[in-house]
Structures are given as structure tokens and as C-alpha cells.
Amino acid sequence: MRALLAAAFLAAAASRCAAMGEGTDDFAMPQMQMTSGLVLYYNSTGPMSFLSMTPRDVPAGARLIPEVRGVTCQRGVSIPTAVSINATDISGVYGDGGYVKSLKKIVKAHPDVAGIYDVRVDLEIFSVLGFYRSTCTIVTARAFALPSAATALAPAPAPAKS
């Protein structure tokens, strides 16, 4: 009887472990800062969807850049209006935690980047007792630069005056 119970327990534990985070239904879960109660201010941008290139899409002759990273954040504050479990609060959210700003930070840090591929996106959530929240979008990718990219981005020389 013990062997049967042990086998049933191991089978249940093994099936649970195999199901967590594996399979064909894995997808990104973009997130915006949540508000509650009376919202006084909300000006925030969050990640929605991003279609990434693959290593096969990198142009021939491109110079590979091993890893680039851009981090952007949304921040929120909630202030309770009464000392009660069901009390409402006043909240506000601000910040740009979207992909566009993350990509702009990558280009600012690496001006020679012509494209990115193999993109990975993480959300980092920080909260202090529900009063302060921060949701950061972390975009990590491999990048490439084109040999002529430096000359294409450089300003054209001024014409000579005669």
C-alpha cells in the first residue's frame, strides 16, 4: 500500500513539474501598471507586442554585437484614504515602460546598431507594501551593425564656399 501511495505521489509531482512553463502555450505577458480607487493621474506606456528577427534574418557581412540591453520603467503610487480593509485609495501612475523607449535606449548606448534579433523581454516588478510600485521592461537582444552604417549615420560634409 505504501509503494502504491509513493508511486501515485511521484507521478503527480512529476506531471506537475513537467507542466509548469513548458509547452506550446508560452507567450509574453505584457503589463501596464494597475490602478485602484480614485485615479488622479495616469500617464504611462507599457509593453504590448514585439516581433523579433531571428539569427537567419541578419544580413550577410553584418558585424555582430553580442548583447545589448534597454531598461524602461513605469511607476505608481497609491495612498489609502482611510484605515480600513475595504477603504478606497488615491493612485497615480507615470513613466514609459514600453518597447519603443527601450529600443531608443539601446540605440543611444550603441549608435552603430542597425538591427536587433533574438530578443528577450523581462518584466521586473518592485512594490513597497502596495504604496509604491515599479514595473520595468528589460529588453535584452543580440544586435548587428552594417559596415556602411557609420558613414550612413554621419552628417554629410558642408559644401565648399567659393
Order of strands, sheet of 63-80, starting from the edge strand that comes earlier in the sequence: 38-45, 89-96, 63-80, 132-145, 115-128
Q: What is the pLDDT of residue 68?
A: 94
159 φ/ψ angles, rounded to the nearest 5 degrees: -65, 145
Residue 157 or 48, more confident: 48
Q: What is the pLDDT of residue 18?
A: 39
Residue 42 or 11, more confident: 42
pLDDT bucket at 30, cuts 50 / 70 / 90:
low
Average pLDDT, the chain: 74
Three cell numbers at 157?
Answer: 560634409
CA-based torsion, 158, 152, 141, 44: positive or negative: positive
Cβ count near 110 (within 10 Å): 16
129 φ/ψ angles, rounded to the nearest 5 degrees: 50, 25
Residue 159 or 84, more confident: 84
CA torsion, points 51, 55, 57, 62, in degrees to nearest 10?
120
Residue 157 or 153, more confident: 157
pLDDT bucket at 143, cuts 50 / 70 / 90:
very high
Q: What is the pLDDT of residue 1?
A: 66
Total residue length of the chain: 162
SS3 for 56-83 is HHCCCCCEEEEEEEEEEEEEEEEEECCC
Distance CA 113, CA 68 (A): 9
Architecture of domain 29-50+59-148: 2-Layer Sandwich (3.30)
Distance CA 48, CA 46 (A): 6
pLDDT digits (tens, 9 = 90+) for 66-123: 899 999 998 988 887 776 666 678 888 888 888 888 889 999 999 999 989 988 888 8
Q: What is the pLDDT of residue 54?
A: 85
List the domain boundaries for the chain: 29-50+59-148
DSSP run (H or E) holding 92: strand 89-96
Strands 89-96 and 38-45: parallel
